[in-house]
Amino acid sequence: MDAIIQINSAINGFVWGPVMLVLLVGTGLYLSISTGFVQFRKFGYAMKNTIGKVFHKAEAGHGEITPFQAVTTALAATVGTGNIAGVTGAIILGGPGAVFWMWISALVGMCTKYAEVLLAVKYRERNENGEWVGGPMYYIKNGLGKHFKWLGTVFAVLGAIAAFGIGNISQINSIADSVNQVAQAFNPAAVDAKSTIALVTGIVIAIFVGLVVIGGVKRIGQVTEKLVPFMAAIYIVCAVIVVIAHAGTIPAVFGMIFKGAFNPSAVVGGAAGITIRLAMTKGVGRGVFSNEAGLGSAPIAHASTSERDPVKQGLYGIFEVFMDTIVICTLTSLVVLCSGVAEGHWGEGALAGATTTIAGFSTVFGPKFGASLLAIGLLLFATSTILGWSLYGTRCIEYLFGHKAVKPYQLLFVVVIVLGAVADLTLVWDISDTLNGLMAIPNLIGLLLLSPVVIKVTRDYFKAIKK
């Protein structure tokens, strides 16, 4: 067992380390330059044709979901505990400058996600039930030919297993912990019932997820299109209230972010041991982990869209990263930094989580309401992530073994929710976290080799728009 832990730790250090993060950001930068920075040049157009059409009624045929349902399903999977606990961890361990590098990863990640979604729609296919299926395994197989089919298989294997960790165990653990914190905030004696609370939480979430995933991609899309806007609105409004309450600190906080990106010791002091490399690694890593640009997961959801034009759906990829990182992750960062709860705790791993975020909200809403507020946020964010990743894992297992493997996989996925709430599955989570990072390798190879297709399709689309 110790050998497995050591091997996994070494691989994890690579896939979430500086080299891999440079490859992810580098791919995004290459795609940005190649497309003429489409994410900036056409940002207004993208927002107008994505969020600007939220209230336009759209119909989806058999085996399809609407373009908005596709992006909310993808956002459901990306907007999770990483946007709350993860961002706080990056700030505590990497200093305020980590926020700057998180922004940089998102700005280039917008183009990466755009390219992934474009390719997913262009190279998707119908399964035996008539549903659209796609993602990296399909655009590698259909775009690069039979000689690269093995690469798509590698991605599918990694995705099917990783879904149990990043999209299941880690999320239900966070939900159970937050429910426990609320229970203890109102009744300190509830600490004795921690295991019971976790079990009940796991069973309730498992039943809910089971009822949704049985309905397939259309049911998931119908749930996420209502759940995601609701949860995002609650969190954004409450976070803005906290930031406004500490408005006087905003100029100093932005100064800390920009100064800390290049001279961390000037902001946090040399004793914390935070270097530029650490600030960069934590910031970029958190950005990539949160918005998943380059990992290849979100295109699986987007492939189910009723939208026929790859570029139009690709624009939702730009919006998705913008909403996840530039909006939600930034607001979490400002709550923590403007409230001052991180001051004097730089580099302290014990505080690198939701506890610090709760402290930030509590400065305005009080400890009980602050804990409850964040628990609701984590509940909604994490549950939606479980739903999104249930689809990702299902599509990966279907690609490998056909439709007959879908129901057994979904049943196992639901059972793991209960186990993840009550059992110590740290090793399973750690291995899945590693596999999640490894997913980026076959996906990045596919993106780079198919980049001429992305460039041509983008150029042809906007030329036609001009005419």
pLDDT at 92 over 80: yes
**Res 349: pLDDT:** 63
Which residue has better confidence, 221 or 272?
A: 221
- Residue 189: its pLDDT value, please? 63
Query: Which of 34-38, 50-54, 314-318, 390-394 has the weakest average pLDDT?
Result: 50-54
Burial of 146 (0-12, 13-18, 19+ CB in 10 A): exposed
- Mean of the pLDDT values across residues 31-38? 94
Q: How far apart are CA 312 and CA 48, in angstroms?
A: 11
Q: What is the pLDDT of residue 116?
A: 96
**With pLDDT > 70 as the criterion, what percentage of the chain qualifies?**
92
Q: Torsion angle, CA of 461/454/19/270, rounded to 10 degrees?
A: 0
How large is the average pLDDT for residues 315-323? 91
Q: What is the pLDDT of residues 7-20, one digit of tens each?
A: 888 887 787 777 88
Would you place residue 466 in the very low, low, confident or very high pLDDT band (cuts 50, 70, 90)? Answer: confident
pLDDT of residue 318: 93
Provide mean pLDDT across the span 135-163: 93
Provide the domain count of the chain.
Answer: 1
Domain housing 188: 2-466
pLDDT at position 159: 92
Look at residue 55 and tell me whether its pLDDT is greater than 70. no
pLDDT for 410 equals 93
User: Whole-prediction pTM value?
Assistant: 0.89
Q: Encode pLDDT of 177-213 as tens digits.
A: 778 777 776 777 656 667 788 888 899 999 999 988 8
The CATH code of the domain that includes 388 is 1.20.1740
Of 371, 369, 361, 370, nearest to 339 by C-alpha is: 361
Q: Are 98 and 336 in contact (CB under 8 A)?
A: no
**Mean pLDDT rounded to a whole number for the chain:** 85
- The strand pairing partners of 126, in sequence order, are 132
Rg of the chain over all Cα atoms, to the nearest angstrom: 21
pLDDT in tens, 226-252: 888 888 888 899 999 999 999 999 999
The pLDDT value recorded for residue 190 is 58
Task: Give 218's pLDDT tier (boundaries 50, 70, 90).
Answer: confident
Which of the residue ranges 38-42, 85-89, 297-301 would you say has the lowest mean pLDDT?
85-89
Confidence at residue 192, expressed as pLDDT on a 0 to 100 scale: 60
- Please calculate the CA angle 433-435-436 and round it to the nearest 5 degrees: 65
According to the model, what pLDDT value does residue 172 have? 86
Whether the per-residue pLDDT at 56 is higher than 70: the answer is no
CA nearest to 174, candidates 411, 353, 349, 437: 353
CA distance 29 to 43: 16
Beta carbons of 423 and 121 less than 8 angstroms apart: no
Which of the four pLDDT bands, split at 50, 70 and 90, describes residue 54?
low
pLDDT for 420 = 84
% pLDDT > 90, the chain: 39
Does 216 have pLDDT greater than 80?
no
